[in-house]
Amino acid sequence: MISTLRHLIGWMICVFRSREDLLLENLALRQQLLALHNKRPRRRLATAHKLFWTTLRRVWSGWKQPLVLVTPKTVVAWHRAGFRLYWKWLSRTRRLGGRKRVSEEVRTLIFRMAAENPTWGAPRIHGELLKLGFHLSEPTVSRWLRRVPRTPDPAQRWLTFLKNHREAIAAMDFFTVPTITFGVLYCFFIIEHDRRRILGLNVTRNPNAAWIVQQIRQAWPYAPTHRFLLFDRDGKFGNDVVSAVKQMGSSPVRTAFRSPWQNGVAERWVGSCRRDLLDHVIVINERHLKRLMTEYVHYYHGDRTHLGLAKDTPVGRPAAQPSANGKIRSLPRLGGLHHRYAA
């Protein structure tokens, strides 16, 4: 404040001085400013100084002549920055017109529809939005769709395929079981996707293509085969197995390399076998394992409820009515590892 007052008094005094004195004083001041500018490092100017020079540029054509501390280009940059700040502040305080902003809710909904429906374009999504009561133009939807990644998750695409064709899909796979003598037994099974029923199951020490083909034929002795038979890229499923599957009227579908999740129904059944039975027993030989697995398949089909089947069993288990005496009977399964309860 004091510095500004001093400058104001100095300007008033300069009005009554002669022109020669003003010229000499300006020359002396410029010389001192040049010496000060060369001696000390440059400092950032305050906002008030920037406003002074931008205002002086508008009212005086010779504003470049006494300029020492900064270049004229810097003053022009200050003016343009102030122009941008002014219009930015004006657009925030009052919207005079322009395109209506798309709310975050609508943007999220557009992204969700595009992710859940990879084949939909702007017209289809725009139609759904209109039916939901959101009024915006189709070009606006198209503009926001450009920001959506158009490559859906491969897992989501595969899951959609399985859901749409589960009634026509069966899967087969192997899993190994160690014996008490440190041997290895191979358990082969075929499971349908619709009701998760086990169509075929057998145990062997030496699996080969001929043995696998025989198990496949026994799984569908009279009924027609499923349209698709899903299996992994195990070497045991060679060309002979693929040819036999085609001859039976089914289309073989191999999963990708190191992608067990693509055969998720079979993999989940293997996990259920291990958690429900195999993790709690020591297998003696092939005959022992075959008997255990046969009992487990009976328990799996008729007693065990499944989350994927709306808490039902593969063959259907009707809900029991409460008895008059209110007693609940416990029926042991798998040697007492599990139980079925009946009224």
Domain presence at residue 140: yes
Do 167 and 148 sit in the same domain of this protein? no
Residue 204: phi and psi, rounded to 5, are: -150, 160
Distance CA 343, CA 327 (A): 6
Instruction: Let me know the angle formed at the C-alpha of 35 by 32 and 37, rounded to the nearest 5 degrees.
Output: 105
- Among the listed residues 268, 265, 251, 257, the one whose alpha carbon sits nearest the alpha carbon of residue 232: 257
Same domain as 186, residue 139: no
Q: Where are the alpha helices (DSSP H) in the chain?
A: 2-15, 19-39, 47-59, 72-93, 104-116, 122-131, 138-145, 154-164, 209-219, 239-247, 264-276, 286-302
CATH number at residue 165: 3.30.420.10
276 pLDDT tier (thresholds 50, 70, 90)? very high
Please report whether residue 130 resides in a domain.
Answer: yes
Which residue has tokens 């002979």? 240
Asked whether 323 and 343 are in contact (CB, 8 A), the reply is: yes
Question: Strand, coil or helix: what is 32?
Answer: helix
- Both 34 and 55 in one domain: the answer is no
What average pLDDT does range 300-320 have in this prediction? 88
278 pLDDT more than 90? yes
The residue segments making up the domain with residue 203 are: 160-309
pLDDT for position 187? 97
Domain count for the chain, please give it: 4
Same-domain check for residues 251 and 199: yes
3-state DSSP call for residue 44?
Answer: coil
Classify residue 271: in a domain, yes or no.
Answer: yes
For the chain, percent of residues with pLDDT exceeding 90: 37
Could you give phi then psi for residue 203, rounded to 5 degrees?
-130, 140
Q: In terms of domains, do 65 and 87 share one?
A: yes
Q: What is the pLDDT of residue 68?
A: 53
pLDDT in tens, 177-208: 999 999 999 999 999 999 999 999 999 999 99
- In this predicted structure, what is the pLDDT of residue 85? 81
Answer yes or no: do 197 and 75 share one domain.
no
Region 289-297: what's the mean pLDDT? Answer: 96
3-state secondary structure 142-177: HHHHCCCCCCCCHHHHHHHHHHHCHHHEEEEEEEEE
Strand partners, 184: 178
Does this model's pTM top 0.85? My answer is no
Could you tell me if 31 and 110 lie in one domain?
no
Say if residue 77 is in the same domain as residue 165. no
Q: Are residues 206 and 179 in the same domain?
A: yes
Considering the domain architecture, whether residues 173 and 305 belong to the same structural domain is answered as yes
